[in-house]
Amino acid sequence: MTATDAREEALSAYPIPVSPLPPPGSRQAELNRAMSAASRSALFALSDSDVVFRDDWLLVVNKPPGVYCESVLSSSSARIGSGSLLHLANRLDRDTSGLMVMVSVSTDRAAAELARAFAEREVEKVYVASCVGSKPRWGRINVASGHGRSRHGIWRVYAASDVGRSLPGGSTVKRMETSIEVVSIGGRGGEKGEEIVVVEGPPGVRSEACESSCEGDDDREVVLVRARPRSGRTHQIRLHCQYLGIPIRGDVKYGGAGEWDGAVCGGHLLHAESLAFEHPVTGARLELRAPPPSWWPAEATPVLEIS
């Protein structure tokens, strides 16, 4: 057996992703965005208008897109009553805007309790996104799949039956579940039906799932969605939107349109809209909501139901 044969045989023992690799050109686009974000982050200064909630233990801010979490953290330490150093309780991707929680490190109890709540999925999270794709036939969908890094080091969607299987590099496929609701399609209301998708099957199942859940590929429209992650995987909402055939606008890494309606997308349009959790010190229930992003139309923002 040659070295090539041995390598191919070893790779065949790993599960095969059901989502595609990033398209050509996406790597350069991501590099350009990273360089712009580095410059923007170096100059970032948190303002009072960015603060959504604060007390002696917590600071919750509305992170802008195109800024790294660490830059928000470094400019936030003087903005809680105790004046103590802060620790990130949750993280948002560079281009994702919305609610970011920081907790005082002077209170071990608060930091530990909030970390546990996020880790055990006790924090209710809602995101909004502007996607581009064919008209979904569903109004609300729950997608359950696997999640992990392929041999290319890229986060991919795997079949649910692959959860627990080993991946290149020593990690394993983890469970990933997201509930997604259509808010509008091309400025109009979407379908009302509900569907449950458990990702299974051989490579190529992604296109079959899209055929069963979307009208077709001829007429792409802007699809506004609300997403509730039921697990906490890296790039979870972005991956599931890609899998469903409605990649997030500007998300070039996962098949999203880099340009739309004559304008270049500087980043993906994903926003952490709300968080609900028990205060780690007082025990009070906090239901926090960020202002909507500039790309989210006011008429598409009904009263939020946290569930």
DSSP letters spanning 118-177: HHTT-SEEEEEEEEEESPBS-SEEEEEEEEEE-TTS-EEEE-GGGTT-B-TTS-B-EEEE
Give SS3 for 36: helix
Q: Considering 50, 93, 95, 162, which one is annotated as catalytic?
A: 93
Residues 6+ apart with CB under 8 A from 295: 130, 269
Q: How far apart are CA 307 and CA 78, in angstroms?
A: 33
H-helix or E-strand containing 269?
none
Instruction: Check if 93 is active-site.
Output: yes
Nearest CA to 269 out of 236, 294, 242, 234 is that of 294
Using alpha carbons only, give the angle 247, 249, 255 rounded to the nearest 5 degrees: 45
Active-site residues: which are they? 93
